[in-house]
Chain A
């Protein structure tokens, strides 16, 4: 299945990209996908990064074909 991954802020900086399409095999949860995407990136506090699946912050969701996934560092609005 194909999933679009969007990177923001310090995650985009560490990954050196803002978006990519990943080809995934087998069932995995958002939480597992987050670990896979952040693996190898120079990010000090990976626990502070949240994953949104189709704009939903629940990391227990099972990833489906065509999902839009976003890796979100701590929010800094205002």
Chain B
């Protein structure tokens, strides 16, 4: 199974839309799968004191982040009967409307895939050392904090 394979999570810049279609296509030969669950994180044009966010510039403590992504994967495979799971997260600048997180899980049945995807997203937001600089249209910035 692809459970143990080392996975490259970080993508430079926005996650290309083709990656989503390609990920689905790559699993059409796995006919024990009955459900895919996908989460896509998109950069929102938040307004803060009259200024609008135009992009987020992501940075990470990459060595630790890779380790935590791996721990989350291991925990997800132990907890849920999923066939496979893929995570992609952006580094660097991602503009408003573009994608910064892509979580893709597959299972025989929908409930397990949906629950596993939720687990991945919540764990990633809480535990992975990724930092986001929200850039406004006047080039000033503030630091994003996950709620």
Contact = CB atoms under 8 A, between A and B. Distances in A.
Contact of B131 (A48, A52, A73): A73
Chain B's interface size range is 20 to 34
Contacts, number: 68
Given A9-B143, A74-B145, A52 B124 contact: no
Contacts of A48: 145
A64 interface: no
Chain A's interface size range is 10 to 19
A4 B91 CA distance: 23
Interface in A24-75: 48, 52, 55, 70, 72-75
B130 interface: yes
Contact of A74 (B58, B64, B121, B146): B146
Given A10-B143, A52-B61, A75 B127 contact: yes
Interface in B22-43: 41
A77 B146 contact: yes
Contacts of A70: 61, 64, 129
B128 A75 contact: yes
A45 to B, nearest CB: 9
A73 B145 CA distance: 9
A78 B44 CA distance: 11
B101 interface: yes
A52 B129 CA distance: 10
6 contacts: A10-B131, A74-B143, A74-B146, A77-B58, A77-B89, A77-B132
Interface of A: 6, 8-10, 48, 52, 55, 70, 72-78
